Amino acid sequence: MPPPAVSFMLVRLQKLLADAGIASRRASEKLILNGRVRVNGAVVAVLGTKVDPDHDRVEADGALIKQRKKLYIALHKPRGFVCSMSDPEGRRLVGDLLPKEWNNLKPVGRLDFKSEGLIFLTNDGDFALRLTHPRYGVTKHYRVTLPVAVDQEMVYRLTDGIFSDGERLKAERARILKSGQKGAILDLVLREGKNREIRRMFEAQGIFVERLIRTQIGSIKLGELPEGRWRTLTEAEIKSLIQPTRE
């Protein structure tokens, strides 16, 4: 008889319930503690219990839990859209550009209202954490259009760090693509992505950013994806983002 299948994708029971849309993580914990969850027919009332989503049968209140399909979307955000699930000002949301049945997808990180370019949306919380937490250092590339000419001294300031409201903001790399009397275009690479970081770096120097486009996240480029359109990420692309090679 062959050995039983082994899975390396064990997850905490309360996370599996939450990911399946049964309840929030906190509410899922209460379901478990109240003895309302069974794994392979046996009641499990211990928090932190790990299960195999591919092979274990999980039930809550007698109903079989089916894993919600995980989706990974790359979207070309247009200017004038908010990267949020709702907006008190009634502005357009990036989710409005996706099919209505994908209303459970959340933006991975942010692009401010006036900015454009590549953003991911997903229902996979672990994937989102990998791309947004500073400790993973996933790079983001931006093309910045300015109304003034810049020189190499500006590049040095951006990569050395500029202080704004007591916070040090810096680019991992900076490169001048074009500079002249009519203005300049720069390519900036960031790792942390603090709130409005690029705009604040230039505002601290008295410079207004005319246009800001995110052109790449990790190894994934915006490419020819039209404004306002989306595509699904391939398995190879997802893997490259979760297990990136250091640039």
Catalytic residues: 112
Residue 208, CA atoms < 13 Å, CB-side half-sphere: 3
Copy the structure tokens of residue 58: 């999980």
192, 142 contact by CB (below 8 A)? no
Q: Which residue has the tokens 């007591």?
A: 166
Which sign, positive or negative, has the C-alpha torsion 184, 185, 189, 192? positive
Buried b (16+ CB within 10 A) or exposed e, 205-238: eebebeebbbbbbbebebeeeeeeebeebeeebb
In sequence order, what are the beta bridge partners of 224?
Answer: none
Orientation angle between helical segments 125-132 and 235-242, nearest 10 degrees: 50
